[in-house]
Amino acid sequence: MKTRHAAWLLFGALALAGCAHGPAQLASAPAAVKSLGFLGSVVITRDASALTRDLGGISGADRDPATNTWYLLSDDRSDKAPARFYTAAIDVNERGFKSIHITSAVSLKRPDGSLYPAPKAGGEVADPEAIRFDPATGTLFWSSEGDRRLGLSPFVRQSTRDGAFAGEVALPANLATHKDTERGARNNLAIEGMAFTPSGGLWVAMEAPLYEDGPAASRMAGAVARFTRLDANRRVTGQYAYPADAIPRDATGGKLRSDNGVSEILAVDEDTLLVIERCGYEVAELVFQFAIRIYEVKLGAATNIAGVDSLAGARYVPMSKRLVLDLNQAGIGSIDNIEAAAWGPRLANGNATLILISDDNFAPQQVNQFLAFEVAER
């Protein structure tokens, strides 16, 4: 296991370059994902006196390939610090990570320019989960899961690189939450993944089923999550059913809690995605372990279910999937709560890289884990 523990810091703000262009982003993505080879891992610890004081909850990540600037989105709901993303410089090669420098913390702004409040303060609370850099505009798209208990629906918003609000994506009405009715998105099981396609289209992935689409995954049965497809003008062109696995591990402690669902997606081409499925299972009170699988997913002949109100009992063709890697069977060692994924720089041999990052939930038993893989395209 190639693991090093570090808290590498680079003080001072990173001077961000101008807008990148589409071909630079496409140069980082593989044409296909035949298999993944583990390169190495790093754990970054928090430092109370440094920029990493509130680092944690990394639920989304992406890279501007023109500058090698990384954007790491925290899912802190403004409890520890205002809702934010971090910028970073990550240097990776065929031997693993050379360095990771956290360079700044950027607060996200609401449309009126104010910071997102913590839940106790009331108002529009953000629960950030996914982030993507758009090379066409030089801006960031990020998602919030909302909060059903507070009557807040999921959203996808656009931000400048200094955190200012720059727009919002109109999502299908069926992804909204309903505080007093079991309809729409479940609490904390809403928009968990996003991916830009080579043409500039956008995929938005739910973690688990809508209430009307059936129960969440159990130990005995899987579930279906809706993936919404939008074109480059952010118009919805369809929804498709992703068949998530049954919960693959037994909980053994605490309240015996467990779940399984989609934690992130990446686009390989217009009709092919890399999907991360994450299972968390409780082994002691509030202590969880994780099972992570990576699938190649094809749109193929999947049914456009945008007009299907309920998938429970409905006839449709789901997206197809092929297991690329089971991280727990890959000889890597302990795997944390992987929620972020992005294409990294290409290696000297021309192969693409995949970077995975864990959400430590700010829990003492978990870590900010970074994993690097080499992508075999044939």
Euclidean distance between CA atoms 204 and 140, whole angstroms:
14
pLDDT digits (tens, 9 = 90+) for 81-102: 999 999 999 999 999 999 999 9
Helix (H), strand (E) at residue 284: strand 272-284
| DSSP secondary structure of 43-90 | EEPP-TTSTTTT---EEEEEEETTTTEEEEEE---SSSSSSEEEEEEE
pTM score, whole prediction: 0.92
Q: Which tokens belong to 352?
A: 């693409």
Go through the domains of the chain in sequence order and give each one's CATH number. Answer: 3-376 (2.115.10)
The answer to whether the CB of 370 falls within 8 A of the CB of 55 is no
- For the chain of 378 residues, list the mean pLDDT of each consecutive stretch of 10: 35 30 58 97 93 96 96 98 98 96 97 96 95 96 96 98 98 97 97 96 98 97 98 97 98 98 97 98 97 98 98 97 97 96 96 98 97 96
CA atoms within 13 A on the CB side of 310: 8
Task: Give CA 225 to chain center in angstroms.
Answer: 15
What is the CB-side half-sphere exposure of residue 346 using CA atoms within 13 A? 15
Which class for 30: exposed (0-12), middle (13-18), buried (19 or more C-beta within 10 A)? buried
State residue 24's pLDDT score. Answer: 43
Instruction: Let me know: does 147 contact 158? Beta carbons within 8 Å.
Output: no
Say which DSSP state 118 is in.
P
